[in-house]
Chains A and B, each alone.
Chain A
Amino acid sequence: MDSPWDDLALAFSRTSMFPFFDIAHYLVSVMAVKRQPGAAALAWKNPISSWFTAMLHCFGGGILSCLLLAEPPLKFLANNTNILLASSIWYITFFCPYDLVCQGYSYLPVQLLASGMKEVTRTWKIVGGVTHANSYYKNGWIVMIAIGWARGAGGTIITNFERLVKGDWKPEGDEWLKMSYPSKVTLLGSVIFTFQHTQHLAISKHNLMFLYTIFIVATKITMMTTQTSTMTFAPFEDTLSRMLFGWQQPFSSCEKKSEAKSPSNGVGSLASKPVDVASDNVKKKHTKKNE
């Protein structure tokens, strides 16, 4: 059983996230904040607000999971080292002389490296969330999926909510409802890890972590390098939605024109949704702002 593959997966699953992967995660998150129009000016005018936004971007998933599990939402502040790390990254990103960090980050290989490492932290967060939820609810697999998802991708919900409260964003359209690519992939991962945790999936945890991480890193890097916005899930989703939700469509078009969309429109909009969702987190927010 001591194959090199197994050893590799085991060693990989025991990697500590702390210094480097966390730095990459904070860097990508803070750069996402900085890409928002007006963020740099805000940082000069009101550094506290900017810092708080950056912290929400960095720790949003943890905050959401704490809210859901009735733990103190400010628990993330107790982890001094991580806060200091994130704060220093926020500082050098916004206030570095000559904007060195930004210029370095705009170099594509650096971006690829940072995004890839950020995706690695996603796996760890999902696994942590699922395990944490399992310690509360032994049999609640819906709770496990939800907490895993919240840890991995719930940050966008928190940050959107923060922007809503600040008043610079209104959910006029359906931006709020669109699940971005990271949300979907996190949901998938959360389901998989929950099944693994409840022994429904006959695969060891470290192998699964290794495979899932490779999958999300590879898709992320492919999407970033090719600048493509077609989603990996689009064909699956299309067929799945046809199977599950398409029952009514052939009939509904003639029956209820006012209520239901016609079949081509209903499925088409779902298929074209990925086009709108840009390739990565950073870019998504950018386009959202521009709209």
Chain B
Amino acid sequence: MWAVAPPLPRGPGLGWRLAGGGGPSCGGAVAGPRAAGRTRPGPRVAPGGRAGAMELLSALSLGELALSFSRVPLFPVFDLSYFIVSILYLKYEPGAVELSRRHPVASWLCAMLHCFGSYILADLLLGEPLIDYFSNNSSILLASAVWYLIFFCPLDLFYKCVCFLPVKLIFVAMKEVVRVRKIAVGIHHAHHHYHHGWFVMIATGWVKGSGVALMSNFEQLLRGVWKPETNEILHMSFPTKASLYGAILFTLQQTRWLPVSKASLIFIFTMFMVSCKVFLTATHSHTSPFDALEGYICPVLFGSACGGDHHHDNHGGSHGGGGPGAQHSAMPAKSKEELSEGSRKKKTKKAD
């Protein structure tokens, strides 16, 4: 019943707010090929003037774009970039190169944890075989090949190519695509097991999104480092926080509290993550975009100590070399300070 011209190419950043507003129409368009078939032969009638028609058009084209985006198969290309970036972060960890020379098996296992940690952790939470994902032979072989190339390529060529900043930015962007898709799949999976278990859904989505970061202690143990005092939950990095918020959003969508279709939510959240992460990687900064928001909310909810903690945390992270991996290495010295009482924390904050 609404007007549909051939979908206009539209800037994704512009139209998503409209998609949120025109929820039902967008949801209909995204629901599947059946809905697309319904809207196509409609008469050319603009219901609410020219501006309204434009909004609607952008919403619909965005819906189709999001739909096709959410159906892009991940396996060869996106997964490959996910593996590359994950293992790159492993290589940034102190001692990882030496470890790969002396104990290749342990290094390989670490690389597998970096690539598939999210699946393993989610399987653990949902009571499925931990080793489940290892039955995907092709993924494992692909990840192993990436591990081999990054650590053992002659002249370090592969590593140098991948580390070249524009190339790395592309891979980082593609990794975020995989991350958002994993969150969505994780929540769908948890919803399948527990229909009303919101917290189960949030936890599963979070775990799927943040991946190895949540099991970093165990991963460090595999490398012969045992630091129980550093913990991802104590010092959440930006991807972990973003995964948590994303998991909450996707859970709301899954339980129909958020009037957006899943495809458009995936699209919007992917755009957000990609832009944030690419920006952060390009500027080598570790400040998260949530800082400003948390600076306002935390004092209201938890008193003033929380805001100070966040500020301090991010400052500690920015000393590290690059990537979230280096962040862990900078933590242990800081963590003891942070665990001390609030007065001292405020003092150091002022000193900063």
Known contacts A247-B152, A260-B97: does B130 contact A174 (CB below 8 Å)? no
In the complex, what residue of chain B is closest to A187 when comparing beta carbons? B105
- Shortest CB distance A24–B (Å): 29
**Contacting pair A140 B137 (CB below 8 A):** yes
**Which B residues are in CB contact (< 8 Å) with A173?**
224
Distance between Cα atoms of A266 and B103 in the complex (Å): 10
- Shortest CB distance B137–A (Å): 6
A68, A175, A255, A270: which contacts B131 (Cβ < 8 A)? Answer: A68
In the complex, what residue of chain A is closest to B140 when comparing beta carbons? A142
**Which B residues are in CB contact (< 8 Å) with A174?**
102-103, 224
| Interface membership of B6, Cβ < 8 A | no
**Which B residues are in CB contact (< 8 Å) with A70?**
123, 127-130, 132
**Contacting pair B103 A143 (CB below 8 A):** no
**Which B residues are in CB contact (< 8 Å) with A244?**
104, 148, 152
B101, B130, B132, B221: which contacts A245 (Cβ < 8 A)? Answer: B101
Stretch at the interface among B26-34, B153-161, B240-248: B153-161
- Shortest CB distance B254–A (Å): 24
| Interface membership of B339, Cβ < 8 A | no
**Contacting pair A171 B221 (CB below 8 A):** yes
**Which A residues are in CB contact (< 8 Å) with B155?**
248, 251
A140, A142, A176: which contacts B222 (Cβ < 8 A)? Answer: A176
| Interface membership of B236, Cβ < 8 A | no
Distance between Cα atoms of A38 and B209 in the complex (Å): 45
**Which A residues are in CB contact (< 8 Å) with B148?**
244
How many residue pairs, one in A and one in B, have C-beta atoms under 8 Å apart? 98
Distance between Cα atoms of A79 and B128 in the complex (Å): 23
| Interface membership of A81, Cβ < 8 A | no
**Contacting pair A146 B134 (CB below 8 A):** yes
| Interface membership of B226, Cβ < 8 A | yes
Distance between Cα atoms of A143 and B120 in the complex (Å): 13
**Contacting pair B134 A261 (CB below 8 A):** no
Distance between Cα atoms of A70 and B222 in the complex (Å): 21
In the complex, what residue of chain A is closest to B97 when comparing beta carbons? A259
| Interface membership of B106, Cβ < 8 A | yes
**Contacting pair B134 A171 (CB below 8 A):** no
**Which B residues are in CB contact (< 8 Å) with A171?**
221, 224-226
| Interface membership of A230, Cβ < 8 A | no
**Contacting pair B154 A248 (CB below 8 A):** yes
Q: Which residues of chain B (80-107) have a CB below 8 Å from chain A?
A: 97-106
Which has the most chain A C-beta neighbours within 10 Å: B127, B129, B131, B225? Answer: B131
Distance between Cα atoms of A266 and B98 in the complex (Å): 8
**Contacting pair A164 B226 (CB below 8 A):** yes
Distance between Cα atoms of A247 and B131 in the complex (Å): 31
**Contacting pair B226 A179 (CB below 8 A):** no
The binding surface of chain B is classed by DSSP as: helix
**Contacting pair B129 A69 (CB below 8 A):** yes
**Contacting pair A143 B102 (CB below 8 A):** no
| B-contact bits for A238-279, CB 8 A (1 contact / 0 none) | 000100110111011001100111000010011001000000
Known contacts A248-B152, A251-B154: does B101 contact A68 (CB below 8 Å)? no
**Contacting pair B140 A260 (CB below 8 A):** no
Give the interface size class of chain A. 35 or more
**Contacting pair A177 B97 (CB below 8 A):** no
Distance between Cα atoms of A232 and B242 in the complex (Å): 50
**Contacting pair B101 A142 (CB below 8 A):** no
Distance between Cα atoms of A136 and B135 in the complex (Å): 10
**Contacting pair A266 B101 (CB below 8 A):** yes
**Which A residues are in CB contact (< 8 Å) with B137?**
139-142
**Contacting pair A261 B135 (CB below 8 A):** no
In the complex, what residue of chain B is closest to A141 when comparing beta carbons? B137
Distance between Cα atoms of A1 and B152 in the complex (Å): 48
In the complex, what residue of chain A is closest to B221 when comparing beta carbons? A171
In the complex, what residue of chain A is closest to B102 when comparing beta carbons? A269
**Contacting pair A143 B135 (CB below 8 A):** yes
Q: Which residues of chain A (129-143) have a CB below 8 Å from chain B?
A: 136-137, 139-143
Distance between Cα atoms of A269 and B98 in the complex (Å): 11
Distance between Cα atoms of A179 and B222 in the complex (Å): 12
Distance between Cα atoms of A270 and B61 in the complex (Å): 59
**Which B residues are in CB contact (< 8 Å) with A146?**
131, 134
In the complex, what residue of chain A is closest to B98 when comparing beta carbons? A261
- Shortest CB distance B159–A (Å): 10
- Shortest CB distance A45–B (Å): 26
Which has the most chain A C-beta neighbours within 10 Å: B123, B134, B152? Answer: B134
- Shortest CB distance B290–A (Å): 34
Known contacts A70-B127, A142-B135, A251-B155: does B101 contact A260 (CB below 8 Å)? yes
**Contacting pair B97 A247 (CB below 8 A):** no
| B-contact bits for A212-256, CB 8 A (1 contact / 0 none) | 000000000000000000000000000001001101110110011
**Contacting pair B101 A261 (CB below 8 A):** yes
In the complex, what residue of chain B is closest to A246 when comparing beta carbons? B152
| Interface membership of A85, Cβ < 8 A | no
| Interface membership of A170, Cβ < 8 A | yes
| Interface membership of A289, Cβ < 8 A | no
**Contacting pair A67 B103 (CB below 8 A):** no
**Contacting pair B156 A241 (CB below 8 A):** no
16 contacts between A and B (CB under 8 A): A137-B135, A139-B135, A140-B135, A142-B135, A142-B140, A143-B131, A143-B134, A143-B135, A147-B131, A178-B103, A245-B100, A249-B101, A251-B154, A260-B97, A260-B101, A261-B98
User: Given contacts A241-B104, A245-B152, A256-B97, could you give 16 more A-B pairs where the C-beta distance is less than 8 Å?
Assistant: A70-B127, A70-B129, A70-B130, A70-B132, A137-B135, A142-B135, A143-B134, A172-B226, A173-B224, A174-B103, A177-B103, A177-B106, A177-B224, A251-B155, A252-B156, A273-B102
Q: Give 8 nearest A-B pairs by CB, closest first.
A: A140-B135, A70-B129, A177-B106, A137-B135, A177-B103, A247-B154, A266-B101, A68-B131
